[in-house]
Amino acid sequence: MASLSALFAWLLAAPAPPPNTTAYLPPECPTEGIQASGPAERFLGKGLFDYMDGGAERYLAYGFTEIGVRGYQKGASRATVEIYQMGGPDEAFGMYAFNSKGEHPEIGAPATLIHGTLSFHKDRYFVRVVAMSEPAAARSLLISLAQKTAAALPGKPGLPAMLERLPEGFLEGSRRFLPNAECARTTWFDGEGDALLSSGATAVMALYLAGDAEIALTRAQYPSPAAAASACEALAKKLALPAAQGCNAAGKLPDDTFGALSLDGTVLRWVSGAPDAETAKAWAAKIR
């Protein structure tokens, strides 16, 4: 009996699971002329492949668990609201970062509107409000639906703490949060992400202007110095950079720009795209 009482007490104390994502979809709003064009739908885990034609792998790499979807219309304008539940606030930002260059309307969370899609993130949720009719005419509907969705979602927008280790002055829309190699598939195309993001590493990256050159600054964090050293050696080999003692290196890269690697304990700093080796090393020193 005592064990049953303890179990009952534990169940009462355990946090309730969050509502499914369809609970946060905006209701119809007749006073504003907004109507639902169909019932809400929900897709779980790899069921995302049943909803979207391509691109589900990136969502899954960022810890996707489910999506709630519903279509809406106002007059001739139509739009779809998609609420993606990600692995956490950092992962929600990670998805949003790929869509963060454009106009930034005020909707109650960091948001970007471009090419008829309004994207934002809040807590562990990444949201897309997509125009299904002429985008310019649907603009007010997109913003209204985004505002209603942002107000319904719990928590607040998150920002990966590691991004604070990169210097200010990054190019708009260039910041990335990369918790695993799969997330980096469209950031680097020649296997650099596989070399960098091994052994439980997490990385952040952003682009900067150095004169006429656009350079990339990357900071990777590893669980141990040995893991960091191993990744540094693998990346140096991939980039054809001769690594000096401690895996510090600078020189010409395969694309004829210059790069630098700097290893410090569990942290690896990487610069690419610089106009010369000294510039690459100077920018690497700016990464904290």
Q: What is the pLDDT of residues 235-284, one digit of tens each?
A: 999 999 987 778 899 999 999 999 999 999 999 999 999 999 999 999 99
Domain membership flag for residue 71: yes
Domain membership flag for residue 278: yes
In this structure, are 176 and 122 located in the same domain? no
In this structure, are 38 and 114 located in the same domain? yes
Per the CB < 8 A criterion, the answer to whether 261 and 270 are in contact is yes
Q: Residue 159 has which token pair?
A: 């920002």
pLDDT, one tens digit per residue, over 18-31 is: 679 999 999 999 99
In this structure, are 114 and 196 located in the same domain? no
In this structure, are 174 and 60 located in the same domain? no
In this structure, are 50 and 125 located in the same domain? yes
Domain membership flag for residue 5: no
Residue 5: predicted pLDDT: 59
Instruction: Round the average pLDDT of the chain to a whole number and report it.
Output: 93
The total number of structural domains that make up the chain: 2
CATH at residue 31: 3.40.1000
Where a domain ends, among 152, 183, 204?
Answer: 152
Residue 96: predicted pLDDT: 98
In this structure, are 67 and 146 located in the same domain? yes
CATH at residue 196: 3.30.200
Domain membership flag for residue 168: yes
Q: Residue 183 has which token pair?
A: 């997330």
Residue 16: predicted pLDDT: 56
pLDDT higher than 90, residue 9: no
Domain membership flag for residue 223: yes
In this structure, are 78 and 169 located in the same domain? no
Per the CB < 8 A criterion, the answer to whether 99 and 112 are in contact is yes
pLDDT, one tens digit per residue, over 177-232 is: 999 999 998 899 889 999 999 878 999 999 999 989 999 999 999 999 999 999 99
In angstroms, the first-to-last Cα distance of the chain is: 56
pLDDT, one tens digit per residue, over 137-185 is: 999 999 999 999 999 999 999 999 999 999 999 999 999 999 999 999 8
In this structure, are 201 and 131 located in the same domain? no
With pLDDT > 90 as the criterion, what percentage of the chain qualifies? 86
List the one residue out of 127, 129, 156 whose CA is nearest residue 145.
129
Per the CB < 8 A criterion, the answer to whether 127 and 81 are in contact is yes
Overall residue count recorded for the chain in this entry: 288
Domain membership flag for residue 61: yes
Residue 245: predicted pLDDT: 74
Of 17 and 12, more confident: 17
In this structure, are 20 and 132 located in the same domain? yes
Domain membership flag for residue 93: yes
In this structure, are 203 and 272 located in the same domain? yes
In this structure, are 180 and 106 located in the same domain? no
Residue with tokens 């310019």: 136
Where a domain ends, among 152, 175, 208?
Answer: 152
CA 92 to chain centre: 6
Model confidence at 17, pLDDT cuts 50, 70, 90, reads low
Domain that holds residue 33: 15-152
Q: What Cα–Cα distance (Å) separates residue 144 from each residue in 23, 86, 186?
A: 17, 23, 32
Where a domain ends, among 152, 177, 203?
Answer: 152
In this structure, are 144 and 228 located in the same domain? no
